[in-house]
Structures are given as structure tokens and as C-alpha cells.
Structure 1
Amino acid sequence: MQYRKDHIPRNTPCKRRPGYAMAATTLTIHNTGNPSSSAAGERSWLTNPSNTRQASFHIVVDEREAVECLPFTESAWHSGDGSGSKSGNRTSIGIEICESGNYAQTLDNAVKLVAGMLQERGWGVDRLRRHYDWSGKICPRLMYDGGKWTGWAQFKALVQLKLSEGDKDMKVDKASTVVNGNRLGADSVLIDGRVYVPLAEVGKALGASVEWNNVSKTATINTKGGK
């Protein structure tokens, strides 16, 4: 995954770069809400003349890259909870996860990105927040299913697993997943009796493609020949 910085100008319309100094204490996870836009597209939208929203974020990630759009030492408007000193907007780094393309790969990239950011700061997954935690909006929407945040629980578990790879003292209940007699290259994690494993790894083991339908919230593994 490529990582690049492309900060929006300080004079970007609608005060999307307000310039408030910030010492972040959490990371807030979002979905873009746009099933056809890439990370580059989301970055371009921030400075598009037709954009009239006072909304912004720090970083956006898709299946190929992560683009840093605002410095992490400045506030962005992403949490929907105002401008108070303890609001998400003033205390949290906003991370947008794109919904287009290979969503399974995008999620894998997001896990690696978030784990790296937590590790840099000496933080754990207790520092992760949903947009929902600040304003009650159902976001990240693709981690919400039928009234349950099962996708969010899995995302946090995978981030914790990634963190544990660099910290031998971190206790994580790991599991092994075997597909057609072959053990997956990525470890799985066990939470409340359920095994969570990156879907992209399962698809790879099957020699299959993994697709995500944003409308029906369905992940599909397509093997060669449809078998």
C-alpha cells in the first residue's frame, strides 16, 4: 500500500482546514458513504469548487493507497459533534475507509494503517472510536449489520492481532484457520468463541476473488468455475 501526503490548503473553502491545534487522543473510523469513490477521489472532493460542505478528515484509504489530507496536529470536521474542546472534531484523527473496488483489500489496508498509527503512539485498540461514538450516526456503516456492530468488533480484533505481531507481551487469543488442508498465512483471532479471519486471506487460499456488494452488505467469494 502506498502512503502519500497531499494536505489541502489552509484557505480551502468552508473552513475544511480550520487550523485549530490538536493533540489527538483517539482515532475515529469512518466509511466514505460513497460506493464509487477512491482515496484520490475523496481527496480531490475536499478542494472541489462544487463541494459546499463543512466536512473534512485527516486520512483516507482504499485498496491501493492511503492519502493524508490534513496534518494530524490540526483538527478536522468529521465527527458531527461540534467544536467543543472535548469533541471528536477537536481530539480525534479522522480516518475514512473507501467503499469502492476490492473492499476486502481496502479493509486489510485499513487494519495495517490503523495498527501502525496506534503503534507509533503507544496506544491500544481502546483508543479506537466509531463516528457513531461521537454523534450517533451509523458510521462506519459497512461495519454495522442488522442492529449489531459485528463488523466493528472484527475490525478491532484484526487491528489488535496486527499489533500483537510487533509486541510479544500482548496477549491475544489466536486461532489457526485451515482451507483445503492448507493453513492460512495470516493468523486468526478468537473472540467470544468466534474465529475472525481476513476474508481476503480465505479468498486467496481458495484461488478466488472476493467482492463486496454495498447495497446488500454482502461479501461474495467467487472460485474459478463457480465451484
Structure 2
Amino acid sequence: MSATTITIHNTGNPKSSAAGERAWLTNPSNARQASFHIAVDEKEAVECLPLTENAWHSGDGSGPRSGNRTSIGVEICESGDYAKTLDNAVALVAQMLKERGWGVDRLRRHYDWSGKICPRLMYDGGKWTGWAEFKALVDSKLNAGDDDLHVDKASVVINGVAAKDGVIIDGAVYVPLREVAEKLGAVIAWDNVSKTAKVDTKGGVM
């Protein structure tokens, strides 16, 4: 998928966390054909699918211009401290827009694709005041300046060759696995069923 928008949802589950929503996707008792890219709660954001992979979250089928085919789905959890969860969602979405050079005109509601009342906690009896407030907060964060959206980066050199920058989180440097593997002359494969990344070198599997 080459995304053109970001779609906002509420989970519709007042008891589940971001980790819980992620776990539900692979729960054997879950027979629904539905998925999403990111779930965010009061503590964290969990990426559940690569942002370049289609997710079935918009309820509008599989057409080439459907939300399912063109939009990144972000689920805002309803459990815990919802005000803090909204703060985290605003920061996350603003960062995603900034990274792509987009503005809030790229934001969509689930409602925009299929007419479902979602994100339901922004509905306000059809006035959608919560949605307007959310977009305004994202826009404010987006235009607050680089310091407010700052992510520390680290230069990465592999065998003397510059690679893509990594990001520093809690003192550790994170680099895309494919970037490291390919710079080391290895082959990387992704098993979407088991959600397993395999890196093969000349001497075997890392």
C-alpha cells in the first residue's frame, strides 16, 4: 500500500489496551476479517501491521481508492485515562503527518469511508465536535515547531557504508532490519502468517 491518508477510529471496547487490541488480531477465537495498523492508549502506541500493507479497517471494500487500500488505520483505545490517550494519539498522528509532509487535510474518520459512527467518542450526537477538536490539536502540534516533535536520530555505518539513520529510544539505537541485513549482504524474508522476519547469511540464519 502507498498510503494517501490516515484514518482515525475508536476501538469500541472500553476495557482493552493497545497491547490487548494487538493480541486480539491473532487470537484463535477471532474470526473477523478486520485489522488496523496502529493502536494507541494512555501508555503506548503499538504498530500491528507494516504501514505499507493493506489493513481492513474502513468498511468500504477493496476498490483501488477505498480506505482499506489507501489509508493507515489508527485505533484510539477507550480504556484508562482517555484524555492522556488522546494526547498520545495527537502526538503520534502529528508526527506521522510531519514525516510525510502532510497536513490535517489528510486525516479521515472511519465515518468518511463507510458511514459508520466511528470514532464514536468524537461523534457528539452528529455534531462531530470531538473530531474538530482532535484535528485542531493535531494541527497545533504539527505547527508547534521541530522541538515539540523532536525524535533523536543516530547515524549508522555498516562495514564502512552509511545506512539509513536510526532512532534513539531509551538509550538504544533502532534501525530497520532490512537495512542492516542488506548492507551485510544477507537476504531477508517476511512470513506474514507467523509474523516472522528471517535473515539468511552465507553461513546460515542469523
- TM-score of the superposed pair, with normalisation by structure 2: 0.70
Corresponding residue for 1:161?
Answer: 140
For 2:69 and 2:57, locate their aligned partners in 1 and report how far apart those are by CA, in whole Å: 10
For 1:37 and 1:146, locate their aligned partners in 2 and report how far apart those are by CA, in whole Å: 24
The code of the aligned residue for 1:84 comes to: G
For 1:98 and 1:133, locate their aligned partners in 2 and report how far apart those are by CA, in whole Å: 19
Corresponding residue for 1:87?
Answer: 66
The code of the aligned residue for 2:140 comes to: L
Indicate which of 136, 142, 146 corresponds to 2:125. Answer: 146
Corresponding residue for 1:50?
Answer: 29
How far does residue 120 in structure 1 lie from its aligned partner after superposition?
A: 0.1
CA offset digits 1:110-141 (Å, max 9, x no partner): 00000000000000000000000000000000
Corresponding residue for 2:166?
Answer: none
How far does residue 72 in structure 1 lie from its aligned partner after superposition?
A: 0.6
How far does residue 147 in structure 1 lie from its aligned partner after superposition?
A: 1.8
How far does residue 88 in structure 1 lie from its aligned partner after superposition?
A: 0.2
Q: Secondary structure at the match of 2:9?
A: strand
Q: Where in structure 2 are the equivalents of 1:49-198 lying within 5 Å?
A: 49-166=28-145
For 2:125 and 2:34, locate their aligned partners in 1 and report how far apart those are by CA, in whole Å: 28
For 1:65 and 1:44, locate their aligned partners in 2 and report how far apart those are by CA, in whole Å: 14
In structure 1, the gaps of 5 or more residues are 1-21, 168-227
Q: Secondary structure at the match of 1:109?
A: helix
The code of the aligned residue for 2:48 comes to: C
CA offset digits 1:142-201 (Å, max 9, x no partner): 00112210000000000000011127xxxxxxxxxxxxxxxxxxxxxxxxxxxxxxxxxx
Q: Where in structure 2 are the equivalents of 1:19-58 lying within 5 Å?
A: 22-58=1-37
How far does residue 75 in structure 1 lie from its aligned partner after superposition?
A: 0.3
Corresponding residue for 1:178?
Answer: none
**Identity rate, percent:** 85
For 2:19 and 2:50, locate their aligned partners in 1 and report how far apart those are by CA, in whole Å: 17
Q: Secondary structure at the match of 1:115?
A: helix
Q: Secondary structure at the match of 2:34?
A: coil
In structure 2, the gaps of 5 or more residues are 147-206
Q: Secondary structure at the match of 1:146?
A: helix
For 1:113 and 1:166, locate their aligned partners in 2 and report how far apart those are by CA, in whole Å: 15
Q: Secondary structure at the match of 1:52?
A: coil
Q: Secondary structure at the match of 2:72?
A: strand
